[in-house]
Amino acid sequence: MNIGEASQASGVSAKMIRYYEQIGLIRPSARTGNNYRVYGADEVHVLRFIKRARSLGFSLEETERLLALWQDKARESAAVKEVATAHITDLERRIAEMQGMVKTLKHLSHCCGGDHRPDCPILEDLAGVHDDVTPTDNERKR
């Protein structure tokens, strides 16, 4: 099948297939006499594997490692589990960071009047207006 058909069969865009070939994540496809890429069922299966790994948030490097492990029939499942558990730890860290962002933004949104006045605690926070800055002598006298 050509790249368009492989794209449709795998759910990976033709642009990403070319990119994966370029960075060495997948082997370059066979070519026809007219230099068109040709893909078979095995290549589509690899592309589906990559798509699933990426949909679970694995980085390209992690996906490459998982792909190598998948293709290595003598692998130890402990190596696969190591990649997965490290990824889980990273996801949990990022989730905690995002939850902190949500909490902060909810607080700032609650404090914002949302009216016609220009005062806005959201913008003040972004500008660092209330950061821990030592007040000058004039500011202390106020």
pLDDT digits (tens, 9 = 90+) for 15-72: 999 999 999 999 988 888 888 889 999 999 999 999 999 999 999 999 999 999 999 9
The percentage of residues in the chain with a pLDDT greater than 90, rounded to a whole number, is: 77
First to last CA, the chain: 77
Question: Full-prediction pTM beyond 0.85?
Answer: no
133 — pLDDT class (breaks 50, 70, 90): low
* 106 pLDDT above the threshold of 90: yes
The amino acid at 104:
T
- The token duo for 15 is 């642009």
Each domain of the chain, given as residue ranges in start order, spans: 1-57, 76-131
Bridge partner residues of 30 (DSSP): 38
Look up the CATH architecture of domain 1-57.
Orthogonal Bundle (1.10)
C-alpha neighbours within 13 Å on the C-beta side of residue 25: 24
Question: Which helix (H) or strand (E) element contains residue 137?
Answer: helix 137-141
For residue 94, the model assigns a pLDDT of: 97
